[in-house]
Amino acid sequence: MAIRPRRWIRNRWRRHALEEWLRLEGEAGRMPLRRLRVLQDEAQQVRRASDRFLTRAQLRLDSAQRAADLLNLPHGTDWRWRPSFLCAPISPSGIAAPASQTRLGEEAAVWHDCPARALILRQVANRSASDLAPFGLQLETLGFSGSYLSVAVDMPDSALQGLGRSHIIRLDMTVSVERPISIYGRLNVGHGPNTDELLRHLGDLTPGLLAETKTIEFDLYYIEMNEKRLHKLWLDIIFEAPQMNAVRIRDLFLSRHLRADV
């Protein structure tokens, strides 16, 4: 097997770094406080970088592991994506009484107008054998008294690459609810100074032993978008009359495919 010098050197660096932190661990009890504070800051930076690497690694491994479990996607599907908050642990894992526009993780934000902020949004582990995503997103509305509630999900830049009006963006979402509720999906397309929207009814959901999987499609043919100036895509999940409910999104999977030629 051929030896790759750069990889060999990097492997040595990582082993030496681990050995050095293990050595420092043993000396922490007798180390001067000033040096201890400096090394504590360094260790926190290393931990943050390690946590980011572990999250990205887990996302890729989960994607490979679950390739056989992917939904039956249309022929010509050229992009697919599941948000990271459904694939790996996030910190913090939940927010209680959030103000509008509060973010959970890097990709999700809650929007509402409830004066008392009577809601909780949190990541929960999926335990069912039928779940394709390791984690879910649960929204508890308690004594919610506002007129609107939605969760916005930012889509990655990869969704914009090669995107055109000949594409259809598909949403497959698996949801369970405590009380009946109507849910909508709204795709927002930012191009140049404009933002256009496509609204679709995801369905009227009722409580049951099994979660329901709903599918909607957004046909970009109906948006007069400037394909050369696309800069942002995001999805709003809109909950109609969400008072005193618990909604659990067990999976949210976005994909795109080309419209069939007629």
CB 95 within 8 A of CB 102: yes
How far is residue 166 CA from its own chain's centroid? 26
Superfamily of domain 76-258: Galactose-binding domain-like (2.60.120.260)
Task: Check residue 65 and give its pLDDT.
Answer: 47
Task: Check residue 17 and give its pLDDT.
Answer: 83
Task: Check residue 52 and give its pLDDT.
Answer: 79
CB 131 within 8 A of CB 176: no
Q: Which residues contact 39 (CB under 8 A, 6 or more apart)?
A: 24, 31
Task: Check residue 63 and give its pLDDT.
Answer: 54
Give per-residue pLDDT as tens, 42-91.
888 888 888 777 777 766 655 544 544 455 788 889 999 999 999 989 88
Between residues 13 and 161, the one the model is more confident about: 161
- Residue 241 predicted with pLDDT over 60: yes
* 132 secondary structure, DSSP code: S
Task: Check residue 153 and give its pLDDT.
Answer: 97
* Mean pLDDT for all residues in the chain: 87
Residue range 103-118: mean pLDDT, rounded? 93
Packed helices 5-27 and 33-65: angle between N→C axes, nearest 10 degrees = 130
Task: Check residue 136 and give its pLDDT.
Answer: 95
Q: Which residues contact 49 (CB under 8 A, 6 or more apart)?
A: none
Task: Check residue 46 and give its pLDDT.
Answer: 84
Task: Check residue 67 and give its pLDDT.
Answer: 45
pTM of the model: 0.73
27-36, 130-139, 188-197, 214-223: lowest mean pLDDT where?
27-36
* Of the candidates 74, 153, 139, the residue with the CA atom closest to the CA atom of residue 106: 153
Residues of the chain with CATH 2.60.120.260: 76-258
Give per-residue pLDDT as tens, 157-189.
999 999 999 999 999 999 999 999 999 999 999
